[in-house]
Amino acid sequence: MTDDLLRFDDKVVLITGASRGIGRACAQLFAARGAQVAVHYGQNEAAAQATLDSLDGDDHLLAQADVGDPAAVERMVAAVVDHYGRIDVLVNNAGILTTHPLPEVGYAEWQRHWRETINVNLIGAANVLYCVAHQMIKQGSGGHIVGISSRTAFKGKPDSPAYVASKAGLNAMSQSLAQALGPHHIYITLVAPGAVETDMSRAALDSPAGAAMRAQSPLNRVATAEDVAHTVLFLASPQAAFLTGTIVDVNGASYLRT
């Protein structure tokens, strides 16, 4: 496929969790291919503004919402539609990761981690998808939704079981809705990265454990945010429509599913 086929001129792309990391890389790549990008953020307005300032083109938009608040999600999607008149692509990326090893945390803390993680990573993602999908149905021209899952949904992460469960739930929910929304020409896919080199992972990668993290892949490195973003870009393109319902691993062969 030639590079010029992956253009998104006149397309509106909403990316949740776009203030840094994978979300920022996706925003930059879509903008470079002609899209108008709505940069969602939860709390870090300065980082979101930095993302916005880094984008090629113009008429991009900041979109603030606590994804864990259903009313805020609805207002955010409505604001994007009010500004652009439509949404063509959703990158369902916003999420949180906490550590809560069962033998070490109290019952109240355990409940808090589960409640907060599921509320953002699964219920919040479902609410964003709901609001955007209804807008896509109203438009009548379909659209693409790409969810950001995780290798851990298949491999596990012993100290972060709520995160793993939320990503496994995101997979199941998104695949079910790929079946439900296919007749409306709304195509839903997921990307499941392994370790990714971002601000959040920098400390671990720079620690003594970093070498072992890189060695999980025969390429002896972890993914870059751009590795993930290029996969998202393709999955959001018309050429990927028949991949709807698919989960694409971006983990450098560090974990192989059969």
Name the catalytic one among 163, 166, 174, 187: 163
Please check whether residue 145 lies inside any domain of the structure: yes
CA distance 10 to 24: 20
Name the catalytic one among 149, 167, 174, 254: 167
Please check whether residue 257 lies inside any domain of the structure: no
Query: Residue 1's pLDDT band (boundaries 50, 70, 90)?
Result: very low
Name the catalytic one among 19, 149, 150, 166: 150
Which CATH number does the domain housing residue 173 bear?
Answer: 3.40.50.720
| pLDDT value of position 4 | 62
Instruction: Report pLDDT digits (tens) over 28-86.
Output: 999 999 999 999 999 999 999 999 999 999 999 999 999 999 999 999 999 999 999 99
* Look-up of token digits 């994804």: 67
Spell out the SS3 assignment of the chain. CCHHHCCCCCCEEEECCCCCHHHHHHHHHHHHCCCEEEEEECCCHHHHHHHHHCCCCCCCEEEECCCCCHHHHHHHHHHHHHHHCCCCEEEECCCCCCCCCCCCCCHHHHHHHHHHHHHHHHHHHHHHHHHHHHHHHHHCCCEEEEEECCCHHHHCCCCCHHHHHHHHHHHHHHHHHHHHHHHHCEEEEEEEECCEECCCCHHHHHCCCHHHHHHCCCCCCCEEHHHHHHHHHHHCCHHHHHHCCCEEEECCCCCCCC
User: Is it the case that residue 142 has pLDDT exceeding 70?
Assistant: yes
Query: Residue 2's pLDDT band (boundaries 50, 70, 90)?
Result: very low
Please check whether residue 206 lies inside any domain of the structure: no
User: Residue 166 catalytic?
Assistant: no
Please check whether residue 210 lies inside any domain of the structure: no
User: Is it the case that residue 126 has pLDDT exceeding 60?
Assistant: yes
pTM of the complete model: 0.95
- pLDDT averaged over every residue in the chain: 96
Mean pLDDT confidence for 189-214: 89
User: Is it the case that residue 207 has pLDDT exceeding 60?
Assistant: yes
Query: Residue 198's pLDDT band (boundaries 50, 70, 90)?
Result: confident
Please check whether residue 187 lies inside any domain of the structure: yes
Q: Which residue has the higher pLDDT, 2 or 167?
A: 167
| pLDDT value of position 200 | 72
User: Residue 255 catalytic?
Assistant: no
Instruction: Dihedral sign for Cα 231, 234, 236, 240, please.
Output: negative
User: Residue 174 catalytic?
Assistant: no
Instruction: Report pLDDT digits (tens) over 99-124.
Output: 999 999 999 999 999 999 999 999 99
Please check whether residue 213 lies inside any domain of the structure: no
| Domain membership of residue 28 as a residue range | 8-196+224-250
| pLDDT value of position 53 | 98
Please check whether residue 127 lies inside any domain of the structure: yes
Question: How many domains, the chain?
Answer: 1
Enter the tokens of residue 229. Answer: 């973003």
Please check whether residue 217 lies inside any domain of the structure: no
